[in-house]
Amino acid sequence: MATATPSFTCNTCSAVFETNEVQRAHMREPWHLYNLKRRMVSLPPVTLLLYDAQVQNDNAASAELICPTCNKKCASEKLYQRHLGKHTSPENDSASDSDSDNPERSDSDTPDLLPTQCLFCNLALPTIEENVGHMYAKHGLFIPSPEHLTDLTTFLTYLAALVCRYTKCLYCDVHKSSRASIQAHMRDKGHCMINVDPDSELFEFWEFPGSDDDADSDASKPRAKQRPSIVKISETELLLPSGAILGARADCAHGRLHPTGVRDDAKRTRAKAIEDGTAAPKPATTSTDRRVAVRGEQGLTGMSEQQRRALMVVEKKMMKREAVARSAQRWATEQVANRQKFFKPDVPGRKNG
């Protein structure tokens, strides 16, 4: 009786192998992986001959999908067509490359804009003033101090050269491949403005009076001392040039204690009457009380205003110290009962609860 030879099969590819090693090698081949992917999407397997023919066709198609401009290889026809759309023509690319090598060369295909044309949308207007008004209203272009410009026509011509020849942003100095792209960049980014920093090359188009010759002549002449103007608001208040208001000390801290000012006015009236000696004599009393009465007003008689203020400052300081000491004592008393582990009644006797 003849013995059956062992066979090793692949259910995915419907193939039979003689040895186990050949079967394991087949599991790592692209044909098996391709049929495995088809099986996952419920498609029938393909034979080895059909797979080889399909691979050859794919390789030939992929070899053809190479960009003639930049030699970039595309994976599919859709990507290839999309990539070709980025390149308008090989002539434009070569022209842009030559422009990048020699930026001083003028490009006849993209002529410079006229001073009456908008720098951002190429709109032609009759006059330069209308063009400046259009760029300000539609695009937000603001030309600072136009009265100090050396020549507005020359200035706009220079800006047009930056946009057309150098394809350069007027604000951030970024470069693009074409005039349309740099105009779109300035419109989209909100860069329709001029960089007028002192380090910018555009700053040379402005001439301000007193910048060069006037500054030297002024430096040679002695400058007269100009006193800042001080405005008197009221009898006790002055307005300084910095905007600060300078008031009298008598109306500063002491007036905040009594907003109405009635008590302070009464004190000032009595103190002035005592100093002038016009205070009315008080009627004699028949009281037998010999305690010393607290009269702060009489104790300040004969003292200057500076000494009175010093006494008030010392009194406020002592009152503040007393308040701090009272708060510290209260805090220490409250912390005593919080450090005990168990509750203790305050009074002796039977515990409640």
Domain layout of the chain by residue ranges: 8-64, 111-205
Can you list the alpha helix ranges (DSSP code H) found in 102-197?
Answer: 128-134, 152-164, 179-189
Q: Which residue in this structure is represented by tokens 């980014």?
A: 189
Tokens of 212: 């060069």
Tell me the pLDDT tens digit for each residue of 84-103: 777 654 444 444 454 444 44
Bigger pLDDT: 34 vs 344: 34
Per-residue pLDDT, averaged over 242-262, amounts to 61
Q: Give residue 215's pLDDT.
A: 47
CA–CA distance, 168 with 183 (Å, rounded to integer) = 9
Tell me the pLDDT tens digit for each residue of 5-23: 667 888 888 888 889 899 8
Q: What is the dihedral of CA 159, 119, 169, 107, to 10 degrees?
A: -70
The yes-or-no verdict on residue 178 having pLDDT over 70 is yes
The yes-or-no verdict on residue 320 having pLDDT over 80 is yes
Least confident window among 49-53, 65-69, 71-75, 253-257:
253-257
Confidence of residue 224 (pLDDT cuts 50, 70, 90): very low
Cβ neighbors of 264 (< 8 A, separation 6 or more) are 254, 255, 258
Tokens of 231: 């405005």
CA–CA distance, 196 with 52 (Å, rounded to integer) = 67
Write down the mean pLDDT value for the chain: 75
Confidence of residue 182 (pLDDT cuts 50, 70, 90): very high
> Considering only CA atoms, which of 223, 227, 252 is closest in space to residue 240?
227
Q: Give residue 115's pLDDT.
A: 87
Per-residue pLDDT, averaged over 73-84, amounts to 73
Per-residue pLDDT, averaged over 127-131, amounts to 91
Confidence of residue 4 (pLDDT cuts 50, 70, 90): low
Confidence of residue 304 (pLDDT cuts 50, 70, 90): confident
Confidence of residue 71 (pLDDT cuts 50, 70, 90): confident
SS3 72: coil
Does residue 182 contact residue 167 with C-beta atoms inside 8 Å?
A: yes
CA–CA distance, 232 with 245 (Å, rounded to integer) = 10
CA–CA distance, 106 with 111 (Å, rounded to integer) = 8
Amino acid at position 112, single letter: D
Most confident of 90-94, 108-112, 222-226, 245-249: 245-249
User: Residue 34 belongs to what H/E stretch?
Assistant: helix 30-40
